[in-house]
Structure 1
Amino acid sequence: MSRVPQVVAAVGIPMVWSNWALPALGLGVRGRTVVNAGFATAYGFAFRGEPNWFSAKGFRFGTGSAALVVAGYAAALAIPSVRKGLRDYTDRGPDVSTTEWVAVHIPIGTVYSEELIFRATLDPVLDNAFGSRIGSVLSALTFGLWHITPARSVGDSVPVAVAATAAGGFALGWLRRRTASATAPALLHLAINAGGAIAPRLARSLPTAR
């Protein structure tokens, strides 16, 4: 595949999948997890993804980054005013138990799928085509646009969701480039999303400050 068609396909296919094809299937959370992971695996294979999952450096950077996130959630739960805000955070996994959401759907349907698509596969394609500076920006923007329909489906502001996830994608991409592995961003991504599911539930179980 020549470079221009490869770049167009590598960017366009995830956009079509996330914002049109996957929603059109009308699947529940379990079905979405299965087909999203299948799509990511096929995409990584088609575009020769380079996840390097077993990188010691990736694991080291990832666990360090994840530990910082966990510490941040712990601090938020310890501050009464912040804990009060966490209680009102919207539940994003209402169709399944918290355990299933955190143990299955976040790591497989979200983290594995998105890190294989974006950090392990799209980042190298764009870096090879444009260099790492431009590639990192384009990949982050694509990651943000991937979230248009998901944000709309839960009533979030689309511009805010795109901007926030693009910024997150830029940081995750930096970790991938720093470690040459998708393991580091995957562990950070997992900590952020799993913590975002668990912390509000913990906040609701803790006593209200007087």
Structure 2
Amino acid sequence: MGELRAGRKAGGGGDGAALAGAVAVLAAANVLNNRVAPRLAPLTSAAATGALLALARHRGITWAEIGFRDPARGLRIGGLLASAVAGGYAVGIALPATRPLFRDERALSLSRARVLEEALLQVPFGTVLLEEAGFRGVLPALVARSHGPRVAAAVSSVLFGLWHVLPATDMAAANPALTRLATGETSAETSAETSAETSAETSAETAGEGAGETSAEMSDGTAVETTRVVAGSVATTALAGLLFCELRRRGGLAAPALLHLATNSLGYLFARLAPGDPGGTARRTV
């Protein structure tokens, strides 16, 4: 036991540098995939995944420590959870009360070819590959060497939450219904606010000077809503990271990867399948 602790201390500095390097690789990939070249995300993520795995192996971390183990068990667990996600989505679009939550403009505005690209290429190789290899594989393995598995799960999950700041900003603009839910608005409140904003706009246009003030107030309100959506997304994805880490502990990387894949890829499918409101403006591009 004493030798093991001494070994951990001796390698602590190297593991810390490796952890910093892994975080830097992930941060760079996050900006590239969300802001610079989103369509090239599969290539960026593949390169980043290779760099993370090379870094981990250079530190002497085994494939089993990274999470490449128990494939049969992981496929069983992940398959069951993926089926549950599909069932939950089917119920969600069938119920009028929850149906608006699935109308995401990012999916509705895409052609069928682009939806297939997102579901079959961008999500598996541009999102799931890197996030699972990074946040459920390499990062926990590096942290666990010095601080144990519980701290490793917590650290990687917090970083996983922060990873979603940029995507959550886009989501706030693409899915207004989900934004209202995240900010705690009810349908009545939303209708009242819409009516008030319409009246304010009309008065502002008549008065002239009020137009600028109304625009500034609406901008401030949107910024506040976006901030709340981003904070909520960071918190929920951090909690999801803890769940994924537990699945990884039980069934290796295959279990969380299948759940992650189903959650994201099926989201595109069910957004397209969700019936539109009779008077809605949601559009589907052929």
TM-score by length of 2: 0.63
Matching of residues 169-208 of structure 1 within 5 Å: 169-179=241-251, 181-204=252-275
Corresponding position: 1:43 with 2:52 = yes
Structure 1 residue ranges (4+ consecutive) displaced by more than 6 angstroms after TM superposition? 205-208
Corresponding position: 1:115 with 2:124 = no
Q: CA deviation at 1:205?
A: 6.6
SS at match of 2:131: helix
Q: CA deviation at 1:63?
A: 0.6
Q: Distance in 1 between matches of 2:101 and 2:170?
A: 21
Alignment length (residue pairs): 203
Residue matched to 1:77: 93
Q: Distance in 2 between matches of 1:195 and 1:16?
A: 27
SS at match of 1:97: helix
Which amino acid in structure 1 is aligned with residue 159 of structure 2? T
Aligned counterpart for 2:231 among listed residues 144, 159, 168:
159
2:86–2:266 Cα contact (<8 Å) kept: yes
Q: CA deviation at 1:54?
A: 6.8
SS at match of 1:204: coil
1:106–1:194 Cα contact (<8 Å) kept: yes
Corresponding position: 1:27 with 2:37 = yes
Residue matched to 1:6: 18
Q: CA deviation at 1:102?
A: 0.5
Aligned counterpart for 1:59 among listed residues 75, 83, 86:
75
Residue matched to 2:123: 106
Corresponding position: 1:15 with 2:31 = no
SS at match of 2:105: coil
Q: CA deviation at 1:88?
A: 3.2
* Superimposed CA distance per residue, residues 104-160 of structure 1 (whole angstroms, 9 cap, x where no aligned partner): 111110111211111121121122221111111111001111122333345453212
2:102–2:267 Cα contact (<8 Å) kept: no
Q: Which moved more, 1:126-135 or 1:47-56?
A: 47-56
| C-alpha RMSD of the superposition | 2.7
Which amino acid in structure 2 is aligned with residue 193 of structure 1? N
CA pair 18-74 structure 1, distance change in 2 beyond 3 A:
same
SS at match of 1:80: coil
Q: Distance in 1 between matches of 2:29 and 2:43?
A: 14
CA pair 207-23 structure 1, distance change in 2 beyond 3 A:
closer
Q: Distance in 2 between matches of 1:88 and 1:98?
A: 14
CA pair 47-94 structure 1, distance change in 2 beyond 3 A:
farther
Corresponding position: 1:130 with 2:147 = yes
Q: Distance in 2 between matches of 1:53 and 1:38?
A: 22
Structure 2 residues without counterparts, runs of 5 or longer: 1-10, 58-62, 173-225, 280-286
Q: Which moved more, 1:112-121 or 1:41-50?
A: 41-50
* Superimposed CA distance per residue, residues 26-85 of structure 1 (whole angstroms, 9 cap, x where no aligned partner): 2242x12211222112212221363417711111111111111111111112223222x1
